[in-house]
Structure 1
Amino acid sequence: MIKIARTHLWVHDQEVALKFWTEKVGMEVRQDVTLPNENFRWLTVGPPGQDDVSIVLMAVPGEPLMDDATRKQVLDLTAKGFAGTVFLVTDDIEKSYREMTERGVEFTEPPTQLPYGIDSGFRDPSGNSARLTQLSEDFPNT
């Protein structure tokens, strides 16, 4: 059986991203490894209690992996919120929204009732889009 283990977000600054996703969103650090003699840091976070899934906070690389023009495009698309979206679910959106707001998350969209549940949106410091949703009982989390 194939399972999803992790996904990644391009981030402009791994340290800033780490603080945001752990201190403000409430994720926990899963892996933080810098390869010796290389400028590469493998940094992952994930939700407490869901150990089999994580988000890689991936610095946008330069040469030789990406030329300068491509790197700039990735940075620009990320900053605009078009490099991907993280979808988070909660059993109590009002509580999660309040806690995250109190920790400094600035929501771009407050919780709003929609056909599939109550949905809200925020962006991380790099510009990545994230959704926080409480799914309705008749809309399964699959």
Structure 2
Amino acid sequence: MDIKLSQCFIAVDDHDKALAFYRDVLGLEVRNDVGFEGMRWVTVGSPSQPGVDIVLEPPVADPNTSPADKAAIAELLAKGLLRGVIFDTEDCDATFERIRAAGGEVLQEPVDQPYGVRDCAFRDPSGNMLRFTQHSFTQHGEQ
């Protein structure tokens, strides 16, 4: 069986703020921007991965969702508990500095993990956790 990742979804509560982050800070390209029945879906992706899309979707797309459920989803989103994405980067420290300089909310500064990666973490403007992982790094001066 030959299967590949095509799309993943991230709930955002403000598409314009999300675009300013994903496009302008992370450098992802906008591939689609669709409105339907008062809602909006924006697809972004890395130029180096044309076959993988990240869909920035509304937190609740079902018009029958109760106000209590909408409030619960908004609270989970704000805490970063709905979704997360891990991006690969060639230089975790440089990526961290670029995102922090652009005002990204830092969750974790770059650190060497015991499972063999160096990574850092931020929240996007909606509260989603994003990790940036460098797979090949020098740990404690050794390769």
Same-fold call, TM > 0.5?
A: yes
CA RMSD of aligned residues (A): 1.7
1:126 corresponds to 2:126:
yes
Matches of 2:35 and 2:76, distance apart in 1: 26
1:4 corresponds to 2:5:
yes
Matches of 1:90 and 1:63, distance apart in 2: 35
Q: CA deviation at 1:104?
A: 2.5
How many residues get paired? Answer: 135
Q: CA deviation at 1:5?
A: 0.8
Q: CA deviation at 1:53?
A: 0.8
**Is the Cα contact below 8 Å between 1:107 and 1:122 reproduced in 2?**
yes
Instruction: Report the TM-score, using the length of structure 1 for normalisation.
Output: 0.85
Gaps of 5+ in 2: 138-143
Q: CA deviation at 1:63?
A: 5.5
The corresponding residue for 2:140 is: none
Instruction: Report the TM-score, using the length of structure 2 for normalisation.
Output: 0.85
Matches of 2:61 and 2:79, distance apart in 1: 20
Write out aligned runs for 1:5-20 (5 A). 5-20=6-21
Q: CA deviation at 1:90?
A: 0.6
The corresponding residue for 1:78 is: 77
Question: Displaced runs of 4+ in structure 1, greater than 4 A?
Answer: none
Same amino acid, percent of matched pairs: 37
